[in-house]
Every structure is written in structure tokens, then in C-alpha cells.
Structure 1
Amino acid sequence: MTVNVRGKVLPLLAASALALGVAACGGGDSADDAGNTGTSDLSGELTASGASFPDAYYQVAIEAYAEVAPEVVINYNSTGSGTGKKEFGEGLTDFAGTDSLVGDDDPVEPGSFLYVPTVAAPITVSYNLPGVEGLQLGQETLAQIFQGDIETWNDPAIAEANPDAELPDTPITIAHRSDGSGTTTNFTKFLDEATESWELGSGDVVEWPSDSQGGEKNTGVASIIQQTEGAIGYVDLADATGSELVFAAVENADGEFVMPSIAGTTAGLEGAEVAEDLSYNPLNAAGADAYPITAPTYILVRTSYEDPQTAELVKAFLTWLLTDGQALAEDEFFAPLPDSLAEQALAQLDKIQS
């Protein structure tokens, strides 16, 4: 993967400094901080932690950025959104990755941070049922499966949407995140908003049925599904693909069954309403082609950094991520931001003070 990525990035490097300078030109004094002198002149180290959902993309992007800014070291630790917000709020990191918004229980002071959208991706519903592929799962059926109301794979609710499938009486094992997770927030938020059956609420952590199994990070959930016949769980497309999991087609707001894909994610983004703080909700968006469990992801940055060098490094990296770095997204199973949202995210960086 690294060889292929670098092969695609290297032709872009000559244009990187120009793209970075153009993108940063709208912000007065902060444009200078964002690296108009060229990223190759930057040096220093950034520490970050957070969401595992976008980790595959962030790691490839960080490696590619090292070609542009060889004297800058960026360490992103995939801890989960909950831990990422906690460490950011405690001042242990320079920025944080999160798929969920900052809540009242998160130790992040209101007004001290900004949301910077980066990419989006589908949350797959992956399962392990040998010999059964291409399952279609309705929204109400999903809710009943994941709260334990439907217990076997040959349940009439599943069979009705899959008349040609030979469904066994295998017990269903629910696989979920054991850590505080934005992936959990978005998945349960989808079930909470789209169905009448869902009773477990939504959040980074919910109380799953007692006989379910929890795994740490998306990779942990993927591992449970791989190892457990009859298991079903929610996993980002990058990790689900890397683990060679089987996906279900999920019913969307238009009543169509759609497989998780970048095209379906992009269709879901088109109808998303963006709030003033740049948070947005593409879940269950209208459109026949929209994949319904499309999740955003953000980087949290501080409104003010005590160290001017840290502010400069953060702005320069994120400016690159929102310009040249977007070209890396699709190869890692993420959808780049729509142009209008990417422009708003770039403008968000101008608000960072030092």
C-alpha cells in the first residue's frame, strides 16, 4: 500500500506548496501562519489521538505529508473518539480525531475548539454467515437485531427481505465497540433517528444486550465478526474491506437497499445540512443512491495555541489535508469532502490564534 500511495503522491508534490499557499490566502495574518513560505521550511512535531474510523486514511496522509514537509513529525494514535476528546481536553495532544461531536461529558471547554471536517465514509453492517452473501437488511430489522429482539438468522423479518437466501437457524451474535467510539455514536444515531424500534439510545457508549461481544476499535469488532459464525457488527469500510468481511445492503430513506461504497457515501453527503460550526449529519440522507449509514469525521483543533510554532504546524498540515490530501481518500475507502465544505473547512483554520 505504501508504494502505491507514494507513487500517486509524488507527482503532486511539486504543486503542494502552491496549493497550500493559494488555499491559505484568504485569512489575513493567519495565512502567513498556515505556511505561505512553503511546507518544506517547516519543522517540529505534532501529537494527536482519537478516532479509529479514519485512521487508515490519516496514516497514509501523514506518510505522504512527510514527503512535502520532511522536517515535520506527526504522531496520530488511534485510540477511539472518546479517548481522543479526553486527551485533547486535558491538553495532552495538539489536535484530536473524532467522529462524534463534543458532549457535556467530554472534558473539552466550550469555545476552546473548532471542528474541521476531513473526509466521510460508510459504516458497514458486516456479518459472518458462510454461504450467504448479498443480504438485504431493513432499518427496523437492523434495530431489532442489534438490540437483541431478533435472535436467529432465519427470523421471518430477515427472510422477508431475502426470499432467495437459504437462511440457517444460526444464533445471531452482536459485535460492538467496547471503547468510547464515534462509530458507535453514528451507528446508533442512525438507528435512533431512522426507526421506531430502537430503544438503546445513541452515544459513544451504549448498553448493549448482555450476550453481545465487545471489541476495541473498528479492528476489534472486525476480528469478532471474522472469528464468530453468526456474528454481525458495524465496521468502517476500510477495516471491513481489509478484514475481507461480507457486507449487507442497508435500506435507505427512499426504501432502496444500498451496499456501502464511496459513491453511496458521496450521494449521502450531497443532501447533508452543514451547521455554523461545520458539524453536519449525512445519516439516512434522501436519495435513491445514498448509503444511509454515512458518517462524518472531524479533527478538533484549538481556537488558540500558546506556542506559535504549534499553531503554524497544525494549520499547515490541515491545509494540505484539505487540498492535496483529499486525493488520497478514495484509495483508502473514504469519500473526499464536497468542494463547498472543503472551502469552509479551510476558512475555519483562519480562526486559529496563537
Structure 2
Amino acid sequence: MIRPSRKVFTAASALTLSLGLAACGAGNEGGSGDGSTSSAGGGSAAESVSGSIKGAGASSMEKAQGEWMAKFSEANPDATVEYSPDGSGTGREKFINGAVNFAGSDSAMDEEEMASAKEKGCTGETIQFPVYVSPIAVAYNLEGVDELNLSPEVMADIFNHKITSWDDEKIKADNPDADLPSTAITTVNRSDDSGTTENFATYLKAAAPDNWPHEPEDAWPVKGGEAAKGTSGVVGAIEAGQGTIGYADASQIGDLGAAKVKAEDEFIEYSPEAAAKILESAKRVDEASKTNYAVELDQANAGAGVYPVVLVSYAIACSEYGDAEAARTTKAYLEYIASQEGQDAAAAAAGSAPLSPAAQENAKAALSNIKVD
């Protein structure tokens, strides 16, 4: 479980991230309704919130959540926020069952999950909106190979265990100038239900449908290879091996190599800027909803200069809580992490791409539905 650190990071300059989510239609009716601001205090300059709230979910957000909690607790010394990076699937399950006040997930709640939450832990409406955007790095550990290019078809064949040696002719075709060894390939995937897995598999299915026959879901679909729990587990397994390759939030891969991914006719290196571009064409799943701001990405047609392997993590909350104090603190905390200040803090600590002003307004509109009285 993560508890807030007192370490303070200098906020990086914000990137302009256009989610293509214009603050339009029914989703933007209402506003915040309580005079709250985007400060870490979650309210006016003269007030702060109190009490304890708990969250759980995506391990990809671990660094960002740690920084958010630290900054929020500095402004709200009487409030305690805890976040367990148990994985997206576990986070959603805990939210559905009412075990946590909020969840973080690398994949949005679907209609069935929201209906289940309404019967159990969230008697109101499920609120969800993008709060953390980051490239998924295709990380590898291969001695003597400092640069690696991978087309989506080759990547799909590697993770589907159709290509098993690093000197395979198909890998050579993507890397004509590289000295590729005959080392066996060991793929590393998540052992737990993971939104990062779903996002990565969604990319493979969209970009290389003939090579990746599996339907995207939180559970890894291919047997064999090595499995590890959480983002840190995957990174650790890649680091501990030789000839290993896996997928993880780019902010957490450390000194591992990261493949350049082919989009159109060029190989693109990951960066927050290159990942952010894919969201310019993202569309809301339900444009009429006041609470659901889930988006769909077009990873098969990312466009020139766009890094196409991206995860969009969501904050998930409920419009009604049995405890008014918990409602106020949850609302204040999530307003902070979606604000410019919160997004800059995550960019500095985790290398994520800050949300655009329009996406921040969408988050504020969604959170205005939380009843705090």
C-alpha cells in the first residue's frame, strides 16, 4: 500500500494534450457547483478537507499516486489518502464491492461492471474519466543491442511465441544494421488482471490483426513465457533475465532498452509528446453521459510521428457515498489530481502527459455529480 511521501518534486512544464474530448453536450452541464478550485486543497484557499479515504488499482499510476498523495496531504493535513497498486482488475473489483472510495484503472469500467457496482458498492452512478496518460514501453534486455525497431506484426509474433530467437529474419528486417544474437526470446507478461495488458493487446489487435488473433482483455491470453505481478514485477523480471522482452508503463522501466515502434513508415521512440498525439482523435464512448468520460483510441491509424502504444488510466468514483466526509475528500482529491497542478506533479514524478484544459474541465464536470451534503 502506498502512503504519501513528503518528498516534493518540481513540476515540469505541461504538455498540450488534446483528447479530442470537447467539453460539450450533457456531460458539461452543471459545473463544479461547490466553488472548489484546482488547488491541492480541493476547496477555497481558506478551507481543507479531512478524514480518510482509500483507493486501489492500476500499478502503472504508482509513482503518480505517490506524488499526488504527498502534495494533497501537504495542503490537507487532516486528510489521509491511501492507494494500493493491486492492478486495474483488482481496483475495479474493490470499487464494485464498496471496499474502496475510488479506483484507478488502465481500462474503463464497462456497462456490466457499472451495473454490478450499482447493486453493491456504488448505489449512485459510477463516475470515470481519464486522469493519467502514458506510453507503454516495449522494454527489453538484450546484451549488445542498444537500439531495437519493431513493426507491429513482428511484435505480435514475438509475444504470440511465433518468433522465438532474436536473430530471426523478421526481426533482422526491422533492424538491418543491428548485430542481433541467437539468444532465445523470453516474453514477460502480467500475471494479474491488468489494464496495461488490455491496452497493449488492444494495440496488437488493431495494428496487426492477422498476427494477433486474441481479443483484448485484462488477462494475458498466451501461455508460456514468464509472468509477473504488477508493473514492478514485469520490469524486475525483464531486468533479471537475458533476451527478455515485455510491456510496462514507460515511467517505470528504468535503464531497460525500449523498442521503437513502427507507425506508418517510420519507427517512433516513445515519449509523452509522441504518445499524447494519438489522443487527438479519441472519442468518448458515451457522449451524452454526465458521468462516463471513457474514450476509444484509433491505434491502427495513429498517424505520422505518433507513438501508438498508449495507456489511458481512469479515475473511478461514485456519485453517492454513505459518508459525507468521505464524499468531500474523495471529490477534492480527484479534482486535484485532474487539475493542472496535479497533472504537472504527475508529469514531473512519472513522465506522464498532462491532460488538456478541455479534458480537465470534463473531469471537473464529472466530479460535480458527487453529492457532498
TM-score of the aligned structures, taking structure 2 as reference length: 0.84
2:52 maps to: 45
Judged with a 3 Å threshold, the aligned counterparts in structure 2 of structure 1 residues 104 and 326 are, in CA distance, closer, same or farther, namely closer
Secondary structure of 1:53's partner?
A: helix
Instruction: Give how far 1:150 is off.
Output: 0.6
Once residues 336 and 249 of structure 1 are traced to their aligned partners in structure 2, the CA distance between those partners, rounded to angstroms, is 22
Once residues 266 and 88 of structure 2 are traced to their aligned partners in structure 1, the CA distance between those partners, rounded to angstroms, is 31
Q: Is the 8 A contact 1:51 1:81 kept in 2?
A: yes
226-235 or 112-121, which moves further after superposition? 112-121
Judged with a 3 Å threshold, the aligned counterparts in structure 2 of structure 1 residues 7 and 248 are, in CA distance, closer, same or farther, namely closer
Secondary structure of 2:55's partner?
A: strand
Are residues 1:327 and 2:344 paired?
yes
Report matched runs for 1:28-107 at 5 Å: 29-31=33-35, 36-38=43-45, 40-103=47-110, 106=113, 107=116
Mark the runs of 5 or more structure 2 residues left unpaired by the alignment.
Answer: 13-28
Q: Is the 8 A contact 1:128 1:232 kept in 2?
A: yes
Instruction: Give how far 1:42 is off.
Output: 1.5
Give the share of equivalent positions with the same residue, in percent: 32
Judged with a 3 Å threshold, the aligned counterparts in structure 2 of structure 1 residues 306 and 298 are, in CA distance, closer, same or farther, namely same
Once residues 174 and 129 of structure 1 are traced to their aligned partners in structure 2, the CA distance between those partners, rounded to angstroms, is 12
1:258 maps to: 268
1:203 maps to: 217
Once residues 33 and 260 of structure 1 are traced to their aligned partners in structure 2, the CA distance between those partners, rounded to angstroms, is 33
Report matched runs for 1:106-145 at 5 Å: 106=113, 107-109=116-118, 112-145=125-158
1:344 maps to: 362
Mark the runs of 5 or more structure 1 residues left unpaired by the alignment.
Answer: 10-24
Q: Supply the AA of the counterpart residue of 1:88.
A: F
Once residues 117 and 265 of structure 2 are traced to their aligned partners in structure 1, the CA distance between those partners, rounded to angstroms, is 39
Q: Is the 8 A contact 1:146 1:174 kept in 2?
A: yes
Deviations 1:236-257 (A, max 9, x none): 111113xx111000112x2321
Instruction: Give how far 1:270 is off.
Output: 2.0
Instruction: Give how far 1:194 is off.
Output: 1.4
Deviations 1:89-122 (A, max 9, x none): 1111000010112247745348731112112000
Q: Is the 8 A contact 2:89 2:194 kept in 1?
A: yes
2:307 maps to: 291
Instruction: Give how far 1:193 is off.
Output: 1.4
Are residues 1:281 and 2:296 paired?
yes
TM-score of the aligned structures, taking structure 1 as reference length: 0.88
Q: How many residues align?
A: 335
Once residues 256 and 200 of structure 1 are traced to their aligned partners in structure 2, the CA distance between those partners, rounded to angstroms, is 26
Judged with a 3 Å threshold, the aligned counterparts in structure 2 of structure 1 residues 39 and 87 are, in CA distance, closer, same or farther, namely farther
Judged with a 3 Å threshold, the aligned counterparts in structure 2 of structure 1 residues 4 and 313 are, in CA distance, closer, same or farther, namely closer
212-221 or 338-347, which moves further after superposition? 338-347
User: Aligned-residue CA RMSD in angstroms?
Assistant: 2.4
Secondary structure of 2:296's partner?
A: coil
